[in-house]
Structure 1
């Protein structure tokens, strides 16, 4: 967790959170980068080591610490940093990294490489549920409707939502509409017969120029017909915005993290537009979001910082510390039931689905268990849901195939949806 106390300042209806004057892990890491760039490798090693003390689960800090120590000929210290890096369950191509060429014949370095290679061994279980064959889009979000057996899948590239019936028939659910951006996270509001989507206009969307400034909006569709009922855009300000996920609170509010601006947005029931709910300079790349404690708390993933717990009533932030030898970096989609949080960790290698067990008061992570990793077909993961209470995740989404520098269109690929064993 980022060990910086915060001072809450309420401004109108939103909260702005500012970091304390004490150096944070991010600031220490930045100082290390600056020292390294000017050739002061001793200062860089000290800064990275201090950052790693605060955030021992941050892979890039441990890697940079190892490199800086190599530059000052501290090979034992470099190997220790790499050993810590390996303990997080990651795989990096260290054997081919010229920064560590001097270590290649050392048994301690070979032991690190062997430990990393072991992380590629298949773990857990994931059963193929269905496939979207020869799909030329990017499937990001998923929502299941128990009352009909329908599964809804959002498409970033083709800016639409697909519906798969209980019988397995797949049809385009929403109409073509240039005012709608790429579709990301989905959530069903069964009582009000609505399907909500987080949408964003950005370079991965078909027909959008690569240099387009990204913008976001929430959209509500009729749950039976797919007709667009309302669109709620974010402000057209000078910042880029990207809404990748959302959740529906018991009071009807929609909460949506912004991956580009350090803000969580709230669309209140009956409101005409989303309003900033919490803005924090600590946020770096917000991703997934899920409700906890009957809607009294939210858990939000930050690609660079891990997981933050938010009290809905007070807007208080509490960063969750990673248990020893685990990392919370690179988490995208979230789903929760009781004190169990299921997370898609697609920002590390190998990608995986993990279960986080929380304490009874939700204030701490008591354990992290890998549910599925390095299994056949389980890569290029995006968001997930609890379909029939079972973790259900999208794989072969298409993100790994999209390269706007080569082509604006997508090659056809088989999108796979996997189901994991039930939660205990």
Structure 2
């Protein structure tokens, strides 16, 4: 989804608007007013403020280049477009962008266009391990059961959790008692618990209007699939993403309102202070005291769990990397894997972190624009190997969960990335 459209949808859909979302809405309204008035200077000022708020997201950089172009500042246009290209972002046929029409014959502009086109080229460092046996799952989240030596994944369209064996056989493990799509999933191995969220997704067919927008988190017995507990979310919250803290307590993110809550002893505790617009699947720091939070709109942050204080992570200037559009982050030592489906082209990226785990020292493109990638969603570390869902199906569905005209769902796949190049992929799991 283009970032600016995502921004509009995020602020319109938020039932309770956080401070960051309110700031975003104010800037978008100011830009629209300036556009109608033909005030190019104000539009540039807004674009520069958006770059700060969105932590240099590629589309915010591109919007700044558009603003400079309206002012006919070619030096700043080329400077900004070069920054855009360095993030790895792609914009198909940039030469057809009417906002740059006056530059199409300029050699520097053509050079930037070629660089952006290069960003569309496929990269593949992962291996397809197996294909799921059905097309109708809309597979969302995944975790690995080390005792049962199998994967669990959630299905949005079938409103259930499935167990996936190493050989690709698949069985329904537990169903939503509410008949809602099931989304986030995490295994608490020491306590033999399986935590899963269910969300009556607004806009999706097959759910009563009275339930839409409601959410809950369910606890199942890891061995039997029996429902043990169910905790309805606070009013208006939609639990799309989750991580467990060191005590096994779920920490949940609402990508619509921007809120992050923890469930402790059956009570909800809000952890954030309104810094996020659309937080996704988080990672716990090694010491358990903080979260690495990917905000789909604002980028990558570290949040102290006790205080809620937030610090934003920026990519290494020597090796820029887009940090928005991240659906999930997964930490393993100094490595951080990102499933990034809100950028073009969609990708899986490995970030190398500094010793403190708070700065990016480098990045590696793992998978990008490859034939089988489709729209990736979430993943899981199994030892030193990273497994992720590819070709989930989101990109062929409309907002009601129906196939787009001329499109059809194909089986999702499980892909494996092994950071060490000396090892050959197998499906032998611990």
Name the SS of the counterpart of 1:414 in structure 2.
coil
Is contact 1:146-1:388 (8 Å) kept? no
Specify whether residues 402 and 69 from structure 1 end up closer, same or farther in structure 2 by C-alpha distance, changes over 3 A only.
same
Specify the alignment match of 2:132 in structure 1: 132
Query: Does 2:238 align with 1:242?
Result: yes
Query: Does 2:394 align with 1:399?
Result: yes
Specify the alignment match of 1:185 in structure 2: 184
Deviation for aligned residue 1:51: 4.6
Distance of 1:414 and 1:361 partners within structure 2: 40
Specify the alignment match of 2:345 in structure 1: 350
Query: Does 2:279 align with 1:286?
Result: yes
Distance of 1:330 and 1:27 partners within structure 2: 21
Distance of 1:174 and 1:206 partners within structure 2: 21
Specify the alignment match of 2:308 in structure 1: 315
Name the SS of the counterpart of 2:67 in structure 1.
helix
Specify whether residues 172 and 411 from structure 1 end up closer, same or farther in structure 2 by C-alpha distance, changes over 3 A only.
farther
Q: Cα deviation per residue 1:219-270 (whole Å; 9 max; x = unaligned)? A: 111111222221111123xx4x3222111111222101111112101011x3
After the TM superposition, which residues 204-219 of structure 1 pair with which residues of structure 2 at under 5 Å, given as runs?
A: 205=204, 207-208=206-207, 213-219=212-218
TM-score between both structures, scaled by the size of structure 2: 0.84
Deviation for aligned residue 1:32: 4.3
Could you tell me which of 262, 265, 274 is aligned with 1:266?
262
Specify the alignment match of 1:150 in structure 2: 150
Deviation for aligned residue 1:346: 1.0
Distance of 2:165 and 2:401 partners within structure 1: 35
Could you tell me which of 235, 247, 269 is aligned with 1:275?
269
Distance of 2:58 and 2:209 partners within structure 1: 30
Specify the alignment match of 2:419 in structure 1: 422
Is contact 1:219-1:228 (8 Å) kept? yes
Query: Does 2:70 align with 1:77?
Result: no
Query: Does 2:365 align with 1:370?
Result: yes
Name the SS of the counterpart of 2:287 in structure 1.
helix
Distance of 1:405 and 1:205 partners within structure 2: 4
Is contact 1:194-1:222 (8 Å) kept? yes
Is contact 1:175-1:227 (8 Å) kept? no
Deviation for aligned residue 1:143: 0.6
Specify the alignment match of 1:413 in structure 2: 410
Deviation for aligned residue 1:332: 1.1
Q: Which moved more, 1:182-191 or 1:45-54?
A: 45-54
Specify the alignment match of 2:250 in structure 1: 254
Specify whether residues 176 and 57 from structure 1 end up closer, same or farther in structure 2 by C-alpha distance, changes over 3 A only.
closer
Deviation for aligned residue 1:69: 2.3
Deviation for aligned residue 1:130: 1.0
Name the SS of the counterpart of 1:137 in structure 2.
coil
Q: Which runs of 4+ in 1 moved over 3 A?
A: 16-19, 23-34, 49-56, 203-206, 209-213, 404-412
Distance of 2:195 and 2:401 partners within structure 1: 33
Name the SS of the counterpart of 2:76 in structure 1.
helix
Specify whether residues 79 and 302 from structure 1 end up closer, same or farther in structure 2 by C-alpha distance, changes over 3 A only.
same
Query: Does 2:333 align with 1:338?
Result: yes
For structure 2, which runs of at least 5 residues remain unmatched after alignment? 1-16, 422-430
After the TM superposition, which residues 84-163 of structure 1 pair with which residues of structure 2 at under 5 Å, given as runs?
A: 84-93=83-92, 94-163=94-163
Distance of 2:25 and 2:358 partners within structure 1: 22
Specify whether residues 404 and 62 from structure 1 end up closer, same or farther in structure 2 by C-alpha distance, changes over 3 A only.
closer
Distance of 2:314 and 2:336 partners within structure 1: 14
Specify the alignment match of 1:5 in structure 2: none
Is contact 1:136-1:411 (8 Å) kept? no
After the TM superposition, which residues 198-237 of structure 1 pair with which residues of structure 2 at under 5 Å, given as runs?
A: 198-203=197-202, 205=204, 207-208=206-207, 213-236=212-235
RMSD: 2.8
